[in-house]
Amino acid sequence: MRHQRVGKKLGRDSAHRKALYSNLAGALIEHGRIKTTVTKAKAVKPYAEQMITLGRRGDLHARRQATAFLRSRDVVHKLFADVAPLFKDRPGGYTRVVKLGSRPGDAAEMAYLELVDDEYVAREREARTPEPAVVEPAPEAAGETAAVPDIPVEAAEELPETEEELVEDPEAAEEVLAEADAADQAEGASAPEAEEPKA
């Protein structure tokens, strides 16, 4: 019988489950909000709130306890320096679960597990998202003349190599043919004349 054995097993053994709770709680502290299944969110919520309570205590023993569970000094530092001071006047209830609906692949119920401090969550989301690329209008659309790109000297002096390029640019074709004739003449003059076979 499982009397007084509270909590979900989540299809994992105890070590795997402990690592899952540690990772989810650390991600919540680091990002302010995580997206996961409703069952995992409800299972990890007490552990995350316990870590924030340790952060509110702020003493050395609390820091060591948090480090033993979260296994990351960076996350523990952020917990004690940034997250815990936000909740210094709040006696519990630091997180909430916001249900999102079913996941398309397996219809699992999804949810956000987030800290109740909306400003912190928004600030962390802005810090994580890259700035959108600014697209400038084309010069033709704005009525301006198109700027000629700077072409290196080596690239400007390159001659066309394919027949299509030769047809498009007759002057370049004449230069290529002239160079080819000069190269043939140079090879003919430097190569010894072939001996005629004896009969």
Superfamily of structural domain 14-128: Ribosomal protein L17 (3.90.1030.10)
Output phi, psi for 162, to 5 deg.
Answer: -95, 160
Q: What are the structural domain ranges in the chain?
A: 14-128, 154-189
Q: Decide: pTM greater than 0.75.
A: no
What does the pLDDT average to over 171-186? 72
Residue 101 has which token pair? 């609906």
The predicted pLDDT at position 150 comes to 62
Taking the C-alpha atoms of residue 109 and residue 98, their distance in angstroms, rounded to an integer, is: 11
Q: Is 97 helix (H, G, I), strand (E, B) or coil?
A: strand
Residue 126 has pLDDT above 90, yes or no: no
The predicted pLDDT at position 144 comes to 58
The predicted pLDDT at position 179 comes to 76
